Structure 1
């Protein structure tokens, strides 16, 4: 009997060891919220420099956070790359991430990382307006320079933003406008804006892409995405910012708690602050937080040059579920 128990124990340990070995011998598997072309460039550069393979699944911020929570008892990925920092804060609060102070930790300003190492900022993105110049001319409008401009009656069915339930971009907008106008004032604004909305998209980058092809006239999105559409895709877009102030993201990176490939993930995490990784991001009009020795695109938008609305990240993380439910009830119901 004891021999049987010993044999079973040895077999179980062998299976565990085999599973671990199998995971470590496989390509690193991550979730990412960056646009797929950018991630492909990042992964290609990483694989070329390190010889380590990476596989990824691209998800919106809300989808990534939800999947990480759903898989908490059996994580499939070991790292989340990109995505609005507010959601990285929230999954940290839910105990879904692991602390790690990467090799460039001391180069990151305190306001752009978690004090305990649960997430770290890669770059900042500023919320802005993307306007189709042809559509503006047709409607007899100028590009918006205020949040109030989006309420113009001429824009009925002509504005797109993303759904805050799936997109961190729009949750970022909700949090910023609450800081600016209070919760009641912000939701009153969204009720009025709803009359002009043609579509609430799943992804935060989709509205500007849709406006670029004339599906709507104005979108709210991140400036780096809009600048890229203007310069690389030659889209007929005009970029502008609200004079009252605007929200911003701290696009971040986190290790997933109990991930099966954490050592591989840490190596990739460290590399994301290398000059090579920073240059790939800069080539897509991002302004990396660690930017020594890289060349920024001439038309990149530096957040320091824009009037920003500062949001308490801990508050926004704790309030996310409640505010999304409130938005669904009052606006999207």
Structure 2
């Protein structure tokens, strides 16, 4: 080959590189997750490094866990998303529907807390938390009320018209709160009769509104409508960052463990890249960014944490000592009937 033809060949190969890069960048992964703080945190601070490493683009499809599950189910034969984040109870439903594919082995997956590995590695936890009680700090201070210490504080007559409760059929927070109330009344995750029977005479009369999600809480706290409501420490931290006067209280009966799980959607158009994204989101690097910028508590114990973040992780570990884990197999088997009963007898 002459020098001239060598130069021409080199130039030709160089001309292919931008096209190759453009092709890689053209690959877009769609990930379903909660909007608001979670979407902002991952879009602005977490996905960037993965995009830099792979040349792909990650786009969030926002919605509640129920919304995301419905979208995945509707497009099961030709998925429009590649990865999805779901609250643990709903994730078990997704796995049962055949919507998730097994996550491949990785160092990051092996590093997770055992509770963050779903059965058969069909999903994995990306964020750890629990549902307890949140309260309007400004209102409590003004009225001289002590911070809540029990789920049954929601039944205190002084909170009449000041309790806001998420709807059980559409919210994990609402389901968790009801299941803890049910346990206090003598029920369990298979028998909810005690909870349904006692609700109209205890917490029910104090409820101002049943809301489908927690989106309205910031407004209802600022207007002085909401005094008490089920919520997680992570969600409370997000509200406080916006200047909303709320605090978290760990109930003496325990909070309910809430793991946000991720799964690679079965039969998606980019299986290899989707597996890489799922693996990256379990890494200490990704989880450190989610913790620092979005108070997303890590499921990988190797995640570095300093300052306020380290204090937050230590506090969660303390609260986890009396946290309760839901029997999701029993709950999911009975939930459709419970939802119907809730709509007919409570949220009428």
Residues 175 and 316 in structure 1, CA contact (< 8 A), matched pair in contact too: no
Q: Which of these two proteins has the greater Rg computed from alpha carbons?
A: 2
Measured after TM superposition, the shift of residue 293 of structure 1 is 4.6
Are the equivalent residues in 2 in contact too, given 1:33–1:61 (CA < 8 A)? yes
SS of alignment partner, residue 289 of structure 2: helix
Write out aligned runs for 1:44-55 (5 A).
44-55=48-59
Distance 1:146 1:314, change over 3 A: same
**1:100 maps to 2:95:** no
Once the two structures are TM-superposed, the CA of residue 177 in structure 1 deviates from its matched residue by 4.3
Q: Distance in 1 between matches of 2:69 and 2:154?
A: 30
Question: d(CA) in 2 for partners of 1:261 and 1:311?
Answer: 33
1:145-164 alignment to 2 at 5 Å? Answer: 145-164=149-168
Shift of 1:278: 0.7
Separation in 2 of the partners of 1:262 and 1:177?
A: 42
Matched, 1:203 2:207: no
CA contact (8 A) 2:111 2:302 kept: no
Shift in alpha-carbon separation, 1:133–1:164, aligned structure 2, 3 A: same
Q: How does 1:140-289 map to 2 (within 5 A)?
A: 140-179=144-183, 181-182=186-187, 183-191=192-200, 192-204=202-214, 206-207=216-217, 210-211=220-221, 214-230=224-240, 232-283=241-292, 284-289=294-299
Quote the residue 1:31 is aligned against: 32
For residues 235 and 299 of structure 1, the distance between their equivalents in structure 2, rounded to whole angstroms, comes to 21
Tell me if structure 1 keeps the 8 A contact 2:149–2:250.
yes
Of 289, 295, 310 in structure 1, the residue corresponding to residue 305 of structure 2 is 295
> 1:135 is matched with which residue?
139
1:230-266 deviation digits (Å, cap 9, x = unpaired):
3x23432232111111212011001222222222211
8 Å CA contact retained: 1:159, 1:197: yes
Residue of structure 1 equivalent to 2:8: none
How big is the shift at 1:147? 0.9
Contact 1:208/1:220 (<8 A) preserved: no
Q: Is the Cα–Cα contact under 8 Å of residues 162 and 204 in structure 1 kept in the other structure?
A: yes
SS at match of 2:305: coil
Q: Which runs of 5+ in 2 are unaligned?
A: 1-22
Question: For the residues of structure 2 that align with 1:188 and 1:138, how far apart are their CA atoms?
Answer: 34
The question of whether the paired residues in 2 share the 8 Å contact of 1:178 and 1:186 is answered with yes
Structure 1 residue matching 2:31: 3-state secondary structure? strand
The CA deviation at 1:67 is: 2.1
What is the match of residue 5 of structure 2? none
Counterpart CA distance in 1 for 2:218 and 2:310 is 21
Q: In structure 1, what is the equivalent of residue 338 of structure 2?
A: 323
Measured after TM superposition, the shift of residue 25 of structure 1 is: 4.4
TM-score calculated relative to the size of structure 2: 0.80
- SS of corresponding position for 2:295: coil
Aligned-residue CA RMSD (Å)? 2.6
Q: Which residue of 1 aligns with 2:14?
A: none
The answer to whether 1:304 aligns with 2:297 is no
Q: CA deviation at 1:314?
A: 2.5
> Aligned residue for 2:4?
none
CA distance in 1, matches of 2:124, 2:244: 33
Contact 1:176 1:311 in 2 (8 A): no
The one-character-per-residue Cα deviations of 1:62-81 (angstroms, maximum 9, x if unpaired) are 21122222222332112102
How many residues are matched?
310
> Using a 3 Å threshold, how does the CA distance of structure 1 residues 174 and 91 change in structure 2: closer, same or farther?
farther
Q: How far is the alpha carbon of 1:139 from its aligned partner?
A: 4.3
TM-score calculated relative to the size of structure 1: 0.83
